[in-house]
């Protein structure tokens, strides 16, 4: 198995960070050999074997003949635990998101789906994604959509945010640069109709700014309460967004402002 080696980033990791990334790599690939991991992290085989013993003792992986194998039961429990800590959207709003995503993609598109409880819950309602290629940084997404058998899932590189089970950091941003997307589906923290889209995270803002450059269309999910607020990090101008999916509380003035920027507004109906 060939693993891309990136010494500049790997050698700076603490033991805990390295072990969590090993668990993630094994989870994504199914199995990894000791030699490949030692080469990737630029450490000795003895160090990797110690890491694998720790991960096996804690139930993250299974060791077998020089390989680390995924322990799928534990990964599922981790994903469920992380998901339970985050807020959940209403079923009607999720249905709107699901239908909008399905309508917005064509056969065999390449799409990016960001880490979002609302979007993930919405995708659970779909039986297919029109044979699309799906790129994501959401580790929960891959674990929780077994019904979507018609598409191929790929997870970005990056550093694992263990609490939210998603990839972050500069390597996540860099890994996105190799793709070009037909559509992108992202939930954002705040949207000021005059100033643009903002995020609480610098990494998330950088990601959305890049996605605007490499995608044909940008579709964002944003709750009505997040409009005309501005978080710490600016991501992009309003006119970079093609479509907005939001709930029924959206103010009419905000809706008109969005539409004046040629943004399609998909709003939950009170009668839904």
DSSP per residue, 128-157:
--TT-EEEESBHHHHHH-TT--SSEEEE--
The strand ranges marked E within 16-124 are 31-33, 61-64, 67-70, 110-113
Give me the CATH number covering residue 103: 3.40.50.10470
Give me the CATH number covering residue 25: 1.10.10.10
Number of domains in the chain: 2
Residue 191 pairs in a beta bridge with 197, 227
pLDDT tens per residue across span 21-68: 898 888 788 889 999 999 998 888 888 998 898 888 878 889 988 899
Question: 225 with 250, same domain?
Answer: yes
- For residue 79, pLDDT over 60 is answered with no
- Specify the 3-state DSSP secondary structure of 17: helix
**What's the rounded Cα separation, in Å, for the pair 248 and 12?**
47
Contact, 150 vs 177, CB < 8 A?
Answer: no
Provide the pLDDT for residue 18: 86
Contact, 54 vs 15, CB < 8 A?
Answer: no
Question: 99 with 68, same domain?
Answer: no
pLDDT tens per residue across span 116-159: 989 999 999 999 999 999 999 999 887 889 899 999 999 999 99
Q: Which domain range does residue 50 map to?
A: 15-80
Mean pLDDT of 153-167: 90
Question: 31 with 147, same domain?
Answer: no
**pTM of this prediction?**
0.67
Question: 119 with 204, same domain?
Answer: yes
- 86, containing H or E segment: none
Instruction: State the pLDDT confidence band at 71, using cuts at 50, 70 and 90.
Output: confident
Residue 70 lies in a domain: yes
């Amino acid at each position: 198995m060939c693993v891309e080696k990136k010494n500049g980033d790997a050698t700076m990791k603490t033991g805990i960070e390295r072990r969590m990334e090993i668990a993630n790599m094994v989870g994504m690939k199914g199995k990894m050999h000791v030699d490949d991991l030692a080469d990737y992290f630029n450490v000795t085989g003895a160090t990797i074997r110690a890491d694998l013993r720790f991960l096996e003792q804690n139930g993250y992986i299974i060791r077998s003949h020089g390989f680390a194998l995924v322990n799928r039961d534990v990964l599922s429990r981790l994903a469920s635990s992380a998901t339970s800590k985050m807020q959940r959207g209403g079923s009607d709003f999720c249905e709107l998101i699901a239908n909008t995503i399905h309508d917005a993609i064509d056969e065999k598109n390449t799409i990016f789906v960001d880490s979002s409880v609302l979007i993930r819950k919405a995708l659970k309602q779909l039986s297919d994604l029109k044979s699309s290629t799906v790129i994501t940084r959401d580790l929960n997404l891959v674990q929780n959509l077994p019904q979507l058998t018609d598409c191929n899932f790929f997870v970005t590189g990056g550093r694992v945010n263990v609490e939210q089970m998603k990839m972050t950091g500069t390597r996540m941003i860099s890994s996105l640069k190799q793709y070009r997307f037909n559509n992108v589906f992202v939930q954002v923290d705040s949207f000021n109709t005059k100033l643009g889209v903002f995020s609480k995270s610098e990494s998330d803002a950088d990601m959305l700014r890049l996605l605007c450059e490499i995608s044909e269309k940008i579709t964002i999910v944003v709750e009505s309460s997040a409009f005309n607020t501005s978080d710490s990090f600016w991501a992009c101008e309003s006119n970079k967004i093609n479509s907005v999916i939001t709930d029924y509380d959206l103010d009419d003035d905000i809706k008109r402002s969005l539409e004046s920027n040629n943004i399609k507004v998909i709003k939950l109906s009170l009668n839904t």
